[in-house]
Amino acid sequence: MAATVSGGKEINLRVGQGVDVHAFAEGRPLIVGGVNIPYSQGLAGHSDADVLTHAVCDALLGAAGLGDIGHFFPDTDDRYMNADSLHLLTEVMRMLEGVEMKVVNIDATIMAQEPKLTPYMADMKQKLAKTIGVDTARISLKATTTEHMGFVGRREGMAAMAVALLVR
């Protein structure tokens, strides 16, 4: 258990990471961080395949030592078919409340060769911050291409990584 001593008082901090990948598919909406982004393809998945929100959920669950979203929201469960991943994030926040953990900050990176995500980042940050119940200053979002290398570079899909710090 991570613990820091500050002024004689123990602060219980936990860090967690999340990684997610989804393939592009025709005829799907592209939803990243709860934002619908105009593009020729969307991401394939059982839920809305929101790669960023999934990585954030896994970072939060990981920090709390609760497991991963595949465990809580299995793709064999019809309730999560085309599910709005912000709803899954709301559920994750309820679980964190259950173990009395609060978000200190989240830092996430989206990996995509296309489309350009910068115009949508402020909106994504707003939606995630609102769902998590923190100020936008506690959410950091970044985007990168992979310089045309690998599955992201070949525009076969998108990936996201997130780190979350929690305090009890």
Q: Which stretch binds Zn ion (CB under 5 A): 19-27, 28-36, 90-98, 133-141?
A: 19-27
Listed residue (107, 168, 167) closest to 143, CA to CA: 107
CB of 124 to Zn ion, least distance (A): 15
- Return the number of the residue (77 or 100) whose C-beta is nearest Zn ion: 77
Interface mask toward Zn ion for 37-66; x: CB under 5 A: -----------------x------------
CA distance 7 to 144: 40
- Strand-pairing partners, residue 32, are 35
CB of 11 to Zn ion, least distance (A): 32
20 near Zn ion, judged by CB under 5 A: yes
- Provide the CA 121 distance to its chain's centre, in angstroms: 13
Residue 25, SS3?
Answer: strand
Contact between residue 157 and residue 24 where contact means Cβ atoms under 8 Å apart: yes
Residues that bind Zn ion (CB under 5 A): 20, 54
